[in-house]
Amino acid sequence: MIIKTKKFQFDKNQYIKFAMLNIAREWWWAWLVPVAVLLIPVFYKDTLGWSIFIALLLIVLYLLFWFIQFTAVTQLEQSKLLFERLRYEIDSRAIKVMKTDKEGFIIEWNKIQRVEKKKEGFLFVLSKAQFLYFPFDVFQGEQSVKLLETILKRKNLLVGHKKSEETAVI
């Protein structure tokens, strides 16, 4: 069975928000550097002020670096397709991204790292900077959403869903 969506556009601000949250999650260890800088006063007295300043500066520079990167992605010609009005056809074999009825491309399920079910839709994570986002209102109805959820569970892509939960011993 094929799940068809309405034509919709991925919002650039929403993309930046998802990308920043994904980087914070995937590169969690980068947050240990400012913590290590804050530990310097334990070994060298009278450096508390400088260590706080350097730790805050590192945090601001880190966030600014990634914010600039993701903002630039929204402006690049190569990623223009991500932010156009597109229609999707989803089935158990692949996701078809359709620009027109005859023009589009296919995304295989093995290209998707994970899928998160949010309050307002599904977020498909392809890499640390590539996402597909499907708000619930782009689907034909509640049955389409449930069918997609079933496909994602079978593919073991839905975050928080374990394969063992699906197979119960009778």
Kindly tell me if the per-residue pLDDT of 22 is higher than 50: yes
Print the SS3 string covering the chain.
CCEEECCECCCHHHHHHHHHHHHHHHCHHHHHHHHHHHCHHHHCCCCHHHHHHHHHHHHHHHHHHHHHHHHHHHHCCCCHHHHCCEEEEECCCEEEEECCCCCEEEEEHHHCCEEEECCCEEEEECCCCCEEEEEHHHECCHHHHHHHHHHHHHCCCECCCCHHHHCCCC
User: What pLDDT was estimated at residue 72?
Assistant: 93
Residue 121: domain span: 1-170
Kindly tell me if the per-residue pLDDT of 164 is higher than 50: no
Tens-place pLDDT, residues 129-145: 888 899 999 998 899 99
Q: Flag whether the pTM goes above 0.85.
A: no
Average pLDDT, the chain: 87
Residue type, 151: I
Number of domains in the chain: 1
User: What pLDDT was estimated at residue 135?
Assistant: 92
Task: Quickly state the pLDDT bin for 163 (edges 50, 70, 90).
Answer: low
Kindly tell me if the per-residue pLDDT of 44 is higher than 90: no
